[in-house]
Amino acid sequence: MDFERRFTPQPQSPDIELFRTRVLKFYAAQGRSFPWRQNTHPYSVFVSEVMLQQTQVYRVEPKYLHWMQEVPDFRSLAKLSTERLIGLWQGLGYNRRALALRNSAIIVTKEYGGILPDVPELLQSLPGIGPATAASICAFAFNKPVVFIETNIRRVFIHFFFRDSGEVNDKDILPLVEASLYRESPRDWYNALMDLGTLLRSRGPNPNRKSRHYTRQAPFEGSNREARGAILKALQGTPFQTTQEISKSTGIGYARIERAVEELTAEGFLTAEEGQYGLK
């Protein structure tokens, strides 16, 4: 594929069809294979999409495979204990996503009979599911022609349509996403964009830096995320501990531990008994 080609940023441009053809040709030749692409059952896609939020694919794949063996459906996930949940999630980061995943499973089991809805608005009502994730689930699980933007999609369109522009807004990209959508198979189309976006990131400067919506991820070391993860790891398979004991065992300062413990308790990860904390 000619990665240096520029296309006209107009939905009615003849370039749209050529762009679509080239992206699909790239996917046919260089598309990647992942277990959640082979297993497109709604539960499989739902789990993978939540795992892939802000986490690299190489870290997700082995965790996903183990998860699907241990927790094969919404009903089994809904019954999972917090300790088991965090144990299975260990290494993926952002542990609140695991709690949201289980809470979503509880809702799907109770309100939808264990069947994931295929409507973006209903999916967005589930914990931890925003508009882009809801749309991607509809595309990958149900092959629906939804229109959405996420980081890899944004990267592709900026590279090919806005390379000579300054700051680019998503509202300028969305019409192009809709116009170019391969409606015969939205699932293949978005997989192609994801793969191409990943490749473009490895080939040079990140086009997303031109995006008005671009933000850098904060460093992990010394962050509140680091403290939260250390607390959850320290409390797995152990009796209740005080914040002082947790601080000593993790090597993280007491003030950071105390703040993170308060957050985790409020979010439902931890339970408190007489000044000690344990997994709920």
Could you list the active site residues? 49
Residue 172 sits at the vertex; the CA angle it makes with 147 and 26, to the nearest 5 degrees, is 60
Distances (CA, A) of 156 to 6, 152, 172: 11, 6, 13
Dihedral sign for Cα 135, 45, 33, 182, please: negative
Non-local (6+) Cβ contacts of 88 within 8 A are 63, 66, 67, 70, 71, 80, 98
CA distance 139 to 35: 16
CA distance 151 to 206: 11
The region, left, alpha or beta by phi > 0 then psi within -120 to 50, assigned to residue 177 is alpha
